[in-house]
Amino acid sequence: MLTPKRIHALPLQLANQIAAGEVIERPASVIKELVENSLDAAATEIEVTIEGSGSQLIQVRDNGFGIHPDDLGLALSRHATSKISSSDQLSQIASLGFRGEALPSISSVSNLSLVSRQHDSECGWLIHHEEDSAAPVAHPPGTTVAVRDLFFNLPARRRFLRSARTEQQQILTTLQRLALSRFDVRFQCDLNGQQKLNLPIAETQAQQLVRVGKICGQAFVKQALVIDQQFDFIDIKGWLGHTETHRPQADQQYFFINGRVIRDRLISQVIRQAYAELIPPGRHPVYVLYMTIPLDRVDVNVHPTKHEVRFRETRLIHGLIHRAVSDELHQQINTKLSPTSSPVEQQIAE
């Protein structure tokens, strides 16, 4: 029977756990948040360590600019961020994070430790909870976040996790997406003591293609078509799968907007349409595409995970993406390049 009750504020821990429900769905979500924080801290090296399915341990260590010791507690408290400070900045977001929710959310559903050392500091500083005072520890410049026993206090969430293999696969996929977003950063991942990913910084196009090949496979890279198109205020660069490298699943489609990993159903549909008759029905193209658009024409504050975006001129942008992909495909097909002389092969040879 429902009876009227008085209103009270939720305890902090519970409020954080509720917020965590939106952003931290599984171990891979932790990886995404922590690695994005490392990228926002201008790290050039990111090392990930996973134990078990990620529920046992997820650790991300970077060489970024670190956190001031006095701010460590704030880093773990809700709605605290170094990335924005006024509402007009919401329309110009250049960083991956800005909501100040990831660390407090993760911390409310795990045992978290945060160690950070700024470059001009003599040692690192460690905290576990937002109310702790920081303790000095040995640590190289940069930040390490270790997340143990994920969802230990949320049995319902734990039950929804899939097999260790599936969770591990999700973690690697998430990392690979992030690794394709930043060729200027070295990524490494160890899983249960085994090296799963080792991607050195890729400066030249040829080095970038080596990274793409490790993630998307050699078949894709061998025949991939280079795309580099500018229209009005957007540009689209990257690699389009040859019309012969289609797949049964849409599992090798990478799209980035201003360096952010985007998974947007409508954009996927637009690109699929550009391939329309060029690949068999029911098959999916492979692509790695980077779109650049002025920050104020795209809204990333649509969903807490920021995987989806809203454009100020949706139809126009979708039309431009379609045109860029379609033009490129038809141009390449009309010139009837044989697979052995595709632009990518030329690029590697250069």
- Summarize as ranges the residues that interact with Mg ion (CB under 5 A): 37, 97, 102
Amino acid at 136: P
Q: Are 95 and 40 in contact (CB under 8 A)?
A: yes
In the complex, the smallest distance separating the C-beta of residue 236 from ligand ADP, rounded to whole angstroms, is 27
In the complex, the smallest distance separating the C-beta of residue 132 from ligand ADP, rounded to whole angstroms, is 15
323: left (phi over 0), alpha (psi -120 to 50) or beta: alpha
Classify strands 45-51 and 186-191 as parallel, antiparallel or unpaired. parallel
In the complex, the smallest distance separating the C-beta of residue 112 from ligand ADP, rounded to whole angstroms, is 11
Phi then psi for residue 198, to 5 deg, are: -145, 100
Interface pick for ligand ADP out of 27, 69, 97, 238 (rule CB under 6 A) = 97
Token pair listed for 65: 């600019």
Q: Is 223 in the site for ligand ADP (CB under 6 A)?
A: no
Q: Which does 98 bind (CB under 5 to 8 A by kind): Mg ion, ligand ADP, none?
A: ligand ADP
Interface pick for ligand ADP out of 66, 69, 241, 285 (rule CB under 6 A) = 66
What is the chain's Cα-based Rg? Answer: 22
In the complex, the smallest distance separating the C-beta of residue 37 from Mg ion, rounded to whole angstroms, is 4
Q: Which does 328 bind (CB under 5 to 8 A by kind): ligand ADP, Mg ion, none?
A: none
- For residue 129, give the DSSP letter: S
DSSP string, 234-270: EEEEEEE--TT--BSSS-SEEEEETTEEE--HHHHHH
96 vs 234, which CB is nearer to ligand ADP?
A: 96
Angle ∠(91,311,279) on CA atoms, nearest 5? 145
Q: Is 20 in the site for ligand ADP (CB under 6 A)?
A: no
Residues 123-152 touching ligand ADP, rule: CB under 6 A, are 143
Q: Which does 209 bind (CB under 5 to 8 A by kind): ligand ADP, Mg ion, none?
A: none
- Residue closest to Mg ion (Cβ): 97
Interface pick for ligand ADP out of 44, 81, 169, 326 (rule CB under 6 A) = 81
37 vs 188, which CB is nearer to Mg ion?
A: 37
Q: Number of residues in contact with ligand ADP, rule: CB under 6 A?
A: 20
Q: With H, G, I as helix, E, B as strand and everything else as coil, classify residue 190.
A: strand
In the complex, the smallest distance separating the C-beta of residue 230 from ligand ADP, rounded to whole angstroms, is 31
Interface pick for ligand ADP out of 56, 82, 205, 229 (rule CB under 6 A) = 82
In the complex, the smallest distance separating the C-beta of residue 81 from Mg ion, rounded to whole angstroms, is 8
Residue 315 burial (CB count, 10 A): 8
Q: Is 202 in the site for ligand ADP (CB under 6 A)?
A: no
In what helix (H) or strand (E) does residue 191 lie, and over which residues does it extend?
strand 186-191
H helices of the chain, in order, are 12-23, 27-40, 72-75, 102-108, 155-160, 164-181, 205-216, 218-223, 265-275, 314-334, 343-349
Binding site for ligand ADP (CB under 6 A): 33, 37-38, 41, 62, 64, 66-67, 75, 81-83, 97-103, 143
